[in-house]
Chains A and B, each alone.
Chain A
Amino acid sequence: MSLATAATPVDMSSKATALIARKRLITLAVPLAILAYFTYIFFAFDILGLRERARLDNAVALVSDTYSYKTHVERNNRNGEIEVSVEGERKGIYDATNYPSWVTVGEEVTQIALDDGGSIEINGDIVRFDVPGFGLIEATQSRSDGVSLNLDTADLPDWISYSNTRLTVMTDAARLTLTKARTEVFVYEFGWELFWFTLDSPYYDHSFSEIAFGDPIDPTRSNLTGAWQDFWNNSIWRHGDVAWALFETVLMAFLGTFGAAIIALPLAFLAARNFAPLVAIRMAARRLFDFLRGVDGLIWTILLSRAFGPGPMTGALAILFTDTGSFGKLFSEALENVDGKQIEGVASTGAKPLQRYRFGVIPQIVPVLLSQVLYFLESNTRSATIIGAITGGGIGLLLTQAMITQKDWEEVSYYIILVVLLVMAMDSFSGWLRRKLIKGE
C-alpha cells in the first residue's frame, strides 16, 4: 500500500517535466487565443468600416463646444434686421442695450472686432472681412445676381468656399456665411456662455465683488438674494433643476440599496444552510435570489416603468429588485459563516429564538453586511444614472436630453463632470461611513 503511493524520484521528475511543459503551453496558448479572438472581433465588429462611419467633424464640434461657445451676429437680408445672440438660442438674444463690446451696431453699418486683430463689417448687402495676413475679402449679395466676391474664385484658399449662392469663410476667430437670405457671423469665445446669469438678469456682466459688496443692482432685491435667485433659475443652465436631478439620482440609489438590504436580510436566513432546516425552503429562497438577479436591472426597469410610469421611484424599485437578489446571496453566504458558539452562549442564558438572532447572530454579521451595502451604495449611484436615462429620472435623463439635441455639448460636459464628482463623493462618503461604523475610528 505504502509502496504504491510513494512516488519514485523518476516518477516525480517526469511529473515535474510534464507540469512545466503544460505551463509553458499555457503561457503560449493564452496570448495566442486572445489574439485569435481579437482577430475575429476585428471582422465581427467591422473595424475597417468604422473609418467610413466615423464622423470626425462631429468629434471636432463636440470638443470645441465643450470649452468654447459662439455668438451669432446675423443680418436678415430680406428685411435688414440685425440680431446678436448666444449660440443662436432664443433665450440668449441680446437686446440693443447690452450688445457685447466687440459689436457695434449702427444705422447702416455693423462692425465686429475680432480677437486676432481682424474685423468684419456688414454694410447693407456688402460684407468686408479683413483677415490679418491675408487681406480684405469683400463680398456682395443681391437678389438678382446672387453672391459675388472680390477675389479670384479659381484660386481660393481651402478655408474659403464659394459658389454663386453661398460664401463661407472659416478662420480660427470667426466664421462668415453669406447667402441671399442672410449674412451670418459666428464668433468663437472661450468658456461656458451665460453659466451664471442669463441676459435678462440685471446681474449679467457684473463681477462677483460688485454683486457681493457693491450697490444694489436691482432695487427690489438685495444683491445676494437676487443673484442667487437668478443663478438658481437660470433658464439655460437650469441649476435648480440640475441640483434636483442629482438629488433624485442619489435618492434612487439610497432607496434601492437600503430597501433591498432590509428585504434581503430576513430572506437570507431562509437561504442559509445553518438557519433553514428545510431543504425545500432553502432552495426556494435561493432560486428567488437567482431569479431577481438574473432578470437584471434593465428588464426590471422596463417592467416596472409599465406599471408605475417613468420617474425616480421606478428606478429605485428596479435597483431594489436586482439588489435584493444580490444581497440575498451575499447575506446568506455571510450567515453560513457565522460562528455557532456565540449563538449557543446566548441560548444558554435562556434566550428565545428571536433574541438569539438579535444578540448571537446580528452582531457577527453586521460589519460584513454593512460594508457590502455601502459598497453597493456607491456603485448604485452610477447605476441610478444609467437607469435614470432609460426610465426618465435624475441626472441620467438630463444627460440624455442634452445629448439628443446634439448641440448642447457644454451642458453635456457639465453634467458629466457633475456625475463623476457625485460618484466620487459617494465613494468617499461610503468609505468614510464604512470606517466609522465598522472600525469605529
Chain B
Amino acid sequence: MADLTAASLDVTRAHYMALTRQRRLYGGLMLLVFVLLLAAGFGIANDRNAGGFLPGLPHIFDFPADVISEAWEKRVNLPGHLLRALPALIETINIAAVATLLGALGAILLSMLSTQGLAPWPRLIPVFRRMMDLMRAMPEIVIALVLIFILGGGPVPAAIAIAFHTVGALGKLFSEVNENADLKPLEGLASVGATWPQRMMLGLVPQVAPNWFSYALLRFEINIRASAILGFVGAGGIGYELKNAISWGTGKFDEAAAVFILLFLTIMVFDQLSSYVRNRMTYGAAK
C-alpha cells in the first residue's frame, strides 16, 4: 500500500514535471518567435525607411537643438509668437470640444439603442453595434480629408471627422456602462406608463451619467491630440500653424518653438486635469 502511494506519487510528480517542462518549452518558443518577429519587423521597417536607424540615431537631437537654440537666440520674440498662436490653439480645443460633445450625444443614443434591456427595438441591436464598429474603425484623417475637399479647409471638417469616430469609440464604452445599469428603476417607470425617452432620462441617465462623463473626459483629451494632427493635414488650428512654421525652415524656428510649447502644455494640462477629475470621481475628494 505504502509502495503504491509512493509509486503513484512519483508518477504524478514526473507527469507534473513533464507538463511544466512542456509549458516552459512552449512559452520559451512563443517568446522566441515573438522576439524574432519583432527583430525581423524592425529590419524590414528599417530597410523601407528613407534613412536608416543607426545613421539617424546621432542626429536625433539635431532638429530639437536647432529649434531650441534659435528660439533661445530670439527669445524676446517668444511671448509675441505665443500670443499670436493662441487663437489657433483655442480653435484646436474648440474642435475637440465640439467633436466630443456631438460624439458623446450620438454615442449616448447609439449605446441605448444597442444595449440589451434598453433598446426599443431589440432586433436591431446587432445593426447598431455594427454601425458603431464601422464608425470606430474609420480613421479621422480619412473623413477629414474627404470633407476638406468638399467643404474647404477649416475647423468644421475636422470637428465632423472627430465626432464621427468619437460616436463609435464612446458608443462601445457607453453601452458597456449601460449593461451594468440596474434595470429595476426602468421597470418601475415603465409600470407607471413612462415613454422610452422618459425612462431613459429618469431611470438610466442618473445611474450612468458619472461613468459616461468620465469616459467622455478621457475622449476629450484624446480628441485634442487628434484635432492637432488634423490641423497638420489641412484643417485649421494649431497643427496648421505648426506645419507652416516648420515648412518655413531655419529662420522661423522660433515660431515653431512657440507652437511646440503651446501644444505640449495644452496636452499636458488636459491630460493632468482629466486624470485628476476622473480620480476624484472614482475615489471621492482627496482627504
Contact = CB atoms under 8 A, between A and B. Distances in A.
A326 to B, nearest CB: 10
Nearest to A385: B139
Nearest to A314: B49
A311 B145 CA distance: 21
A219 to B, nearest CB: 37
B49 to A, nearest CB: 3
Interface stretch (A13-21, A300-308, A336-344): A300-308
A297 B225 contact: yes
Given A45-B154, A313-B53, A316-B45, A420 B134 contact: yes
B239 interface: yes
A299 interface: yes
A37 interface: yes
Contacts of A419: 137-139, 142
Interface string A285-329: 000001001111111001110111111111010000000000000
Interface stretch (B114-122, B186-194, B228-236): B228-236
B101 A299 contact: no
Kindly name the residue among A293, A307, A400, A406 whose own CB sees the greatest number of chain B CB atoms within 10 A.
A307
A1 interface: no
B124 interface: no
Interface in B192-233: 225, 228-229, 232-233
A423 B91 CA distance: 29
A382 B139 contact: yes
B141 A386 contact: yes
Contacts of A298: 225, 228-229, 232, 239, 242, 263
Contact of A306 (B63, B154, B228, B264): B63
B-side binding surface: helix, strand, loop or mixed?
helix
B141 A389 contact: yes
Contact of B149 (A45, A313, A403): A403
Contact of B146 (A53, A293, A412): A412
A386 B161 CA distance: 13
A248 B44 CA distance: 9
B142 A307 contact: no
A396 interface: yes
A-side binding surface: helix, strand, loop or mixed?
helix
A55 B153 CA distance: 11
B76 interface: no
9 contacts: A251-B44, A296-B264, A296-B267, A297-B225, A298-B225, A308-B52, A389-B141, A403-B145, A419-B137
A58 B50 contact: no
A35 to B, nearest CB: 11
A403 B64 CA distance: 31
Given A58-B150, A294-B271, A299-B260, A311 B94 contact: no
Interface string B52-96: 110011011011100000000000000000000000000100100
B225 A311 contact: no
A32 interface: no
A-B pairs with the 8 shortest C-beta distances?
A309-B50, A311-B49, A309-B51, A306-B63, A423-B137, A308-B56, A313-B45, A313-B49
B51 A251 contact: no
A44 interface: yes
B133 A58 contact: no
A416 B63 contact: no
B41 interface: yes
A420 B150 contact: no
A142 B42 CA distance: 65
A59 B150 contact: yes
A62 interface: yes
Contact of B133 (A38, A293, A312, A427): A427
A313 B46 contact: yes
Contact of B268 (A34, A290, A297, A302): A290
Interface in B127-179: 133-134, 136-142, 145-146, 149-152, 154-156, 159
